[in-house]
Every structure is written in structure tokens, then in C-alpha cells.
Structure 1
Amino acid sequence: MQTWQMQGAKARMSELIKCAQIQPQDITVHGKSVAVVV
């Protein structure tokens, strides 16, 4: 599972979605997991 900081996930949403087709993507805020994109 790849981890993204919220700010980076917002800025690169299309890349995050493409990566989620391969494996789950974990989104964090201040080091805490807040969402997983599958």
C-alpha cells in the first residue's frame, strides 16, 4: 500500500486514482491514516 499526504493527494488526484487500480492508496493527515482509496 502506497501512502500519500492529503495535500499531495489533492494536487495529484488523477495519479492517485491510476495507482489505486494497481494497489490500495493510503491518505494521511499529520501522519494519521484518514482514508484508503481502493
Structure 2
Amino acid sequence: VSKQHFVNFISSSYWIGLSYSEEHHAWLWEDNSTLFQDL
């Protein structure tokens, strides 16, 4: 991946406070609450 491509990718990405936890095998919010997927 070129440096320019990487910079373009980063500049168009946003972090919303949600990360995948390999330990819990679940999506977690920044405060460690689980993502409610039944909306």
C-alpha cells in the first residue's frame, strides 16, 4: 500500500467509539458495553 493511498484512507475514515474485542468475540463501545444489534 502506498503512503498516499494510506493517507487518503485514513482521512476518509471515522472512529465512532466501537471496536471488536477478540477476547469477548463481540463489538464493544468505548465504555466496554456491548453493541445492541436487535434494532
- Which category describes the TM-score, using the shorter chain as reference length? under 0.3
Structure with the larger strand share: 1
TM-score (norm 1): 0.28
Q: Bigger relative contact order, structure 1 or 2, given CA contacts below 8 A and separation 6+?
A: 1
